[in-house]
A and B are shown apart, each in its own frame.
Chain A
Amino acid sequence: DAGVIQSPRHEVTEMGQEVTLRCKPISGHDYLFWYRQTMMRGLELLIYFNNNVPIDDSGMPEDRFSAKMPNASFSTLKIQPSEPRDSAVYFCASSFSWIKRQKSSGNTIYFGEGSWLTVV
């Protein structure tokens, strides 16, 4: 499998612009997660989906952030309008659910390579 695929890998944008980050999870995984990593706050869970349905978005910082998962193989994280404090690495990750977990790997979470966002 190709693993979790994210795009773009790097984005530099001006304050106020819309940013869309994309993710393709590992085929067959039914959980998808969006994390954000900063020096100050470490790795934070923003939102996660189960079978394309958002389960918990309590980590989304504010209304400027939104996430969708229109089908099992695609998700987006959108920031509109972007601000300099949104600069961070955004990771998408996927896993099997507890019910579908594989015996040896359990609920192992696999991360994409991240989208490095800089808002100037």
Chain B
Amino acid sequence: GIQVEQSPPDLILQEGANSTLRCNFSDSVNNLQWFHQNPWGQLINLFYIPSGTKQNGRLSATTVATERYSLLYISSSQTTDSGVYFCAVPMIKAAGNKLTFGGGTRVLVKP
């Protein structure tokens, strides 16, 4: 199956700082999604981004499908950005909806 790895595993930021989270995957994919799990456990979909770049407020994501990685950018971080960020890709090439999740990047934004 397709392997997905995220880095760094942990990130501590001062409020207002910018950061980049990385997701590497082992094969070409037709589906890649970023999620944020907040401290209350809710999983919120941030981006559906199998390729290209998208922006939503202070968050943006870029996927370079040919090089098998995706980046999530957090700008001007706020304490509400704390939580765990996951990327997810299909488990196998032909199963676009059957996603496997990376281990996540745990982010703590300090006031």
- Partner of B31 from the list A45, A50, A106 (CB cut-off 8 Å) is A106
- Please count how many residues in chain A sit with their CB below 8 Å of the partner chain's CB atoms: 24
CB-based A-B contact count at 8 angstroms: 52
Residues 67-111 of B contacting A (Cβ, < 8 Å) = 86, 88, 91, 95-101, 103-104
Residues of A within 8 A of B41 (CB): 89, 113-114, 116
Q: Report the separation of the CA atoms of residues A109 and B91 in the bound assembly, to the nearest whole angstrom.
A: 15
Where the two chains meet, the residues of B that have a C-beta atom closer than 8 Å to any C-beta of A are 31, 33, 35, 41-45, 48, 50, 86, 88, 91, 95-101, 103-104
Q: Report the separation of the CA atoms of residues A109 and B48 in the bound assembly, to the nearest whole angstrom.
A: 9
- Partner of B96 from the list A33, A91, A98 (CB cut-off 8 Å) is A98
Main secondary structure of the interface of A (DSSP, over half): strand
With A89-B41, A111-B43 already in contact, the answer to whether A42 and B101 are too (CB < 8 A) is: yes
- Partner of A98 from the list B42, B97, B103, B104 (CB cut-off 8 Å) is B97
Chain A positions 38 through 53: 1 when the CB is less than 8 Å from some CB of chain B, otherwise 0 = 0000110100101000
Chain A positions 90 through 114: 1 when the CB is less than 8 Å from some CB of chain B, otherwise 0 = 0101010110000001111111011
Whether B48 pairs with A113 at a CB distance below 8 angstroms is no
The chain A residue sitting closest to B35, CB to CB, is A111
The chain A residue sitting closest to B91, CB to CB, is A45
Q: Report the separation of the CA atoms of residues A42 and B45 in the bound assembly, to the nearest whole angstrom.
A: 17
Where the two chains meet, the residues of A that have a C-beta atom closer than 8 Å to any C-beta of B are 31, 33, 42-43, 45, 48, 50, 56, 89, 91, 93, 95, 97-98, 105-111, 113-114, 116
Whether B97 pairs with A97 at a CB distance below 8 angstroms is yes
The 5 closest A-B pairs by CB, nearest first: A111-B43, A43-B101, A106-B48, A108-B48, A31-B97
- Partner of A45 from the list B43, B50, B96, B98 (CB cut-off 8 Å) is B98
The chain A residue sitting closest to B54, CB to CB, is A104
Whether A95 pairs with B86 at a CB distance below 8 angstroms is no
The chain A residue sitting closest to B41, CB to CB, is A114
Q: Report the separation of the CA atoms of residues A108 and B91 in the bound assembly, to the nearest whole angstrom.
A: 15
Q: Report the separation of the CA atoms of residues A110 and B43 in the bound assembly, to the nearest whole angstrom.
A: 8
The chain A residue sitting closest to B100, CB to CB, is A45
